[in-house]
Each structure stands twice: as structure tokens, then as C-alpha cells.
Amino acid sequence: MLYLGADHRGYYLKEEIKKFLASKKWKFKDLGNSKYDKDDDFPIFAFKVTQKIIEQPKENLGILICGSGIGMSIMANRTKAIRAGLCLTPYAAELGRKEDNINILVLAGDLTDQVIAQDIIERFLTTKYIPQEKYERRIKMLDELG
């Protein structure tokens, strides 16, 4: 399952992403915010998504969106076994999946237009992690040291 979360600065991009995901027939669940609220707080939505990912870390993925993407990245990466990556290009999303096995894609609502976001998401969802000794070693270090 793909879980979505966004604060007010990512809300409108999230709503467009939902239409895109539905058109591609990708299953997803929106964990909020369910309405635009200029006073909401990004950590709440990042926490909701990370908790769903760690329930089934091999099956579940997430997309988080805030203004810069930085706040969501910080919050998500505080959770063990989460590897959230802020991706501003499709190529970054591809490398994030292929080499670092990111399980949460973070987008910057203030910096990423809808068309680029769709390309980034498509790359994130269609690229598979390619296990190699160096990548496995690094991911293990993240889990042990983090």
C-alpha cells in the first residue's frame, strides 16, 4: 500500500497526486490532512505515514509533502527502518530506490510542480531496489547506527 501525507503547504499537490495515482490504478490511502488548514503541523502527518510503513516495511511505501520537503524528511527519518528521501528530480527518486531503498518519497510542495511530481512519483514507484553488497552494508549501518 502507498500512504500519503501532507501539511497545508503540500495539500494541493497531494490532491493532484491522488488523481494521478488513481489514473494509474495505484492503490493508496490518504492519511491527511483531509482539508486545507494553514495552521496544521507537518510532524503529525509524517508520523502517521511512518507508522503505516513500519507495520509492513517490505510492502508499504509512502509519499510525504510539505513546503520544502525538509521538515517531513527530518520527522520521517527519526523512525527506525524509515529511509525517507527528498527528491526534486525523477533521477534522484530512481537512485533513492535503486541504491538506498528509500521507502518514503518526500516532495517539496513549494518547489515541485504537478508534472514533475508525477514523473518523480512514477520513477519512485517503478524502480526496484537492486541489492548489492555495498548497498546492503550501508542500509544495515543506517539501521544499526540510527
Q: How many domains does the chain have?
A: 1
- For the segment 136-145, what is each residue's pLDDT rounded down to a tens digit? 899 888 888 8
The candidate with the shortest Cα–Cα distance to 33, out of 65, 77, 61, is 65
Grid coordinates standing for 99? Answer: 541504491
- For the segment 95-118, what is each residue's pLDDT rounded down to a tens digit? 999 999 999 999 999 999 999 999
Contact 89, 124 (CB under 8 A): no
Expressed as residue numbers, the domain containing 11 is 2-145
Beta strands 104-108 and 84-86 are: parallel
Q: Which CATH number is 120's domain given?
A: 3.40.1400.10
66 flagged as catalytic: yes
Active-site pick, 66, 82, 84, 104: 66
Grid coordinates standing for 131? Answer: 541489492
